[in-house]
Amino acid sequence: MAATSSAEGAAAAPKPKSWTLRVRQAMDRSLPMDHLLPDRQPYYVGSWVYVFGVVTIAALVWVVVSGIVLSFFGPQWWHDSRVGRFFNSLHFWSVQMFFIFMVLHLWGQYFMAGWRNGRALTWMIGVVIFAVSILTAFTGYLSQQNFDGQFIAINAKDAMNSAGIGAFFNVLNFGQMYGLHVMLLPIGVTILVVLHIVMVRVRGVVKPIDPEGGARS
């Protein structure tokens, strides 16, 4: 047992040798179970503005589930079969819901200055999620294999090419866009969203803006 306590005093426990134990203790300190899944919130969490985040998550679940069904049956299915077209519609409308509630959540968090008290990184991850979601939606629109997808490809290539990215990100290449859309980008969005939620749960919801200036970041 390591005996490196420099300050004898109020039970400064020696650091355990086991890395596993140290990781577990760090997790227990920063995100114990009752912080991950609290059954209580500060009394001022009393506005419908607070539900926009969870509704965005719910919409994302519907987007991913409908997307999984679409990818299982392949790109012709959503044009040729009625059920396929229905799942295409489900995917379309849940994406609309996802962006609607994500932006409402952004408006809410902005006017609440949700980045205060050490929460700046949570806000920044949120903006990154917004940007990656737009990229994901973009590759989705390019994967439609219909008139809209054709024109978006032909038009967007000029923007991509002007910035040099077009040399690597070829919007006219269905295989590339589809692969990014069903695999790489959803994984990216999911990881970022989990990170975002964990960060919110670690710190808890931010306190109200205090007019006495007590709540600067």
Q: Does 88 bind another protein (CB under 8 A)?
A: yes
**127 C-beta neighbours (distance < 10 Å), count:** 10
- Angstrom distance (rounded) from CA 169 to CA 157: 9
Task: Identify which of residues 12 and 18 has a Cβ nearer to another protein in the complex.
Answer: 12
| Span of 1-9, 20-28, 115-123, 182-190 interacting with another protein by CB under 8 A | 115-123
Q: Which stretch binds another protein (CB under 8 A): 1-9, 11-19, 127-135, 188-196?
A: 127-135
Rounded least distance, CB 63 to another protein, Å? 9
Using the rule CB under 8 A, is 124 a contact of another protein? yes
Stretch that binds another protein, among 4-12, 15-23, 150-158, 183-191 (CB under 8 A): 150-158
CB closer to another protein out of 71 and 176: 176
Residue 1 or 37 with smaller CB distance to another protein: 37
CA–CA gap between residue 17 and residue 2 (Å, rounded): 7
Considering only 21, 26, 127, 187, the residue that binds another protein (CB under 8 A) is 127
List CB contacts of 104: < 8 A, sequence separation 6 or more. 52
| Residues binding another protein: number (CB under 8 A) | 98
Cα(54)–Cα(154) distance, rounded to whole angstroms?
36
The answer to whether 106 touches 126, Cβ cutoff 8 Å, is yes
**Residue of the chain from 21, 23, 27, 54 that contacts another protein (CB under 8 A):** 54
Q: Taking the alpha carbons of 94, 100, 106, 112 in that order, is the dihedral positive or negative?
A: negative
Can you tell me the distance from the alpha carbon of 164 to that of 146, in angstroms, rounded to the nearest whole number?
26
Residue type, 98: F
- Smallest distance from another protein to CB 20, Å: 23
Q: How far apart are the first and last CA of the chain?
A: 40
User: Which span sits near another protein by CB under 8 A: 6-14, 17-25, 154-162, 181-189?
Assistant: 154-162
DSSP 215: -
In the list 59, 70, 180, 182, the residue contacting another protein (rule: CB under 8 A) is 59
